[in-house]
Amino acid sequence: MEEFIDGRFFDWVDDAARKIKSFRGENITIVHHNDADGICSGAILSKLCEYLGFSPKLICIEKVHPAIVEKIHEKVDGVIMYTDLGGLAAKMIDKINAGRSYVFIIDHHPAKPIKSDYVFVLDPELGGISGDMFISAATLNYIFFRRITEEAKKYAYIAVIGAVGDYHDRSGGVLGFDRFALQEAINEGQVKIKLEQYMERYYINFFDEFAGVVAKYLTDLGACGYEMEYYRDAVRILFEGFDEKTLKKARELDKLREEKFHAEIERLKSEGFDEGEYTQWFHVGDRFSPLGVKSVGEFCQLIKDMMFVDGSKYLIGFQNMPKIIPDIGEIDWNAVKMSGRAPTQLERMILRGVAPGLDVLVPEASGAVDGFADATHKIAAACVIERGKEEEFVEEFERIVAKSMKNRKLEEQ
């Protein structure tokens, strides 16, 4: 870890590779996120484990939460690898793990460093490299794999799909480490760049489709179809290609989501939001079920700049979490997922430093109600809190914004 913070990224990778090899004969469980990048990460990491002689088991989760981590570490023995999530949760995971398993966290979200004999965090954010701009979790796994063997090149196209899945092409093309993976995929004849009005699009030969289209199918299956365990199909198609049955599932989910989102927009238009001074919020309860809890985030993203949304206020949505977690079983909780987004007008204020970002507000507000924040960015963030504490969360959120605005004004004077 220490070396990594100093920026010696590849030393860390070599170190981790050595460590993993020394676990020969043990079980490996890969815990991956259910969005496109998380699915690509699980896929690449499972190939790496296979290459090293392991037969990894995959567990797909929507959120890192102590209750879920507890279940996993109770059920599983051997090495546990978290990917595309967990960076911020290293301490919590280490505590729950209590020396039972060796744990690797291979993530590109903001992370906290940790000193532990059992938990190892590989996260470029700890070395000052933005995981939001230059390296997707899929690319990170690719580079990890690539450092160990050239075999990895076979899967370079999967890194490209993961990076596009996390919108790392939003400035016109992928950058940094993502670009390295892209270049290797091109050299291997897997991907072609096509230009569309100054925007690069990446054509994946294996799928006869653009990376963005493949990523959307992966999200449909993994995120919308989470409760139905369609993420397994998502991982499979990355190696086997599309089949009619899987495509049909994805299209049906797409339609279901469209219907549910449309109905919710109509409801919000007629009933409006609950409003605070700085926030506007709503609760979808179970109305999006059986779609996964990523839906409320996607929904916020979809509506944030619509006419009925106040562009100057934070947008907050809640969705009930199901009690049954596929691959894990029943969790004894009453949990609610919170998604926060900033409409474009507010986004500009946040990026200029005039208003506080969600990366600060959400961890603080969720902490105040004993909730748990994981993936947080300046203009988009999520957390899990206990059901019944939604209003308290919003009050805390309001209070933190007010305090921060006041401090900013004082600084200006």
Question: Which chain residues interact with Mn ion by CB under 5 A?
Answer: 37, 84, 137, 166
Query: Six-digit token pair at 72?
Result: 């996993």
β-pair type (103-106, 79-83): parallel
Query: Six-digit token pair at 91?
Result: 């301490």
Pick between residue 100 and residue 216 the one whose CB is nearest to Mn ion. Answer: 216
Per DSSP, the three-state class of 83 is strand
Taking the complex as a whole, the smallest distance from the CB of residue 84 to Mn ion amounts, in Å, to 4
Taking the complex as a whole, the smallest distance from the CB of residue 37 to Mn ion amounts, in Å, to 3
Per DSSP, the three-state class of 9 is helix
Pick between residue 35 and residue 184 the one whose CB is nearest to Mn ion. Answer: 35
What's the rounded Cα separation, in Å, for the pair 130 and 149? Answer: 25
**H or E stretch including 224?**
none
Pick between residue 110 and residue 371 the one whose CB is nearest to Mn ion. Answer: 110
Query: Six-digit token pair at 75?
Result: 């059920």
Taking the complex as a whole, the smallest distance from the CB of residue 333 to Mn ion amounts, in Å, to 25
Q: Cα dihedral sign for 261, 267, 272, 273?
A: negative
25 DSSP 8-state letter: T
Task: Give the residue closest to Mn ion by C-beta.
Answer: 37
Pick between residue 138 and residue 316 the one whose CB is nearest to Mn ion. Answer: 138
Pick between residue 29 and residue 139 the one whose CB is nearest to Mn ion. Answer: 139
**Rounded to 5, what percent of the chain is helix, strand, coil?**
50, 20, 35
Pick between residue 84 and residue 390 the one whose CB is nearest to Mn ion. Answer: 84
What's the rounded Cα separation, in Å, for the pair 231 and 356? Answer: 35
Taking the complex as a whole, the smallest distance from the CB of residue 201 to Mn ion amounts, in Å, to 20
Taking the complex as a whole, the smallest distance from the CB of residue 264 to Mn ion amounts, in Å, to 26
Taking the complex as a whole, the smallest distance from the CB of residue 318 to Mn ion amounts, in Å, to 23
Residue 79 · residue 101 · CB < 8 Å: yes
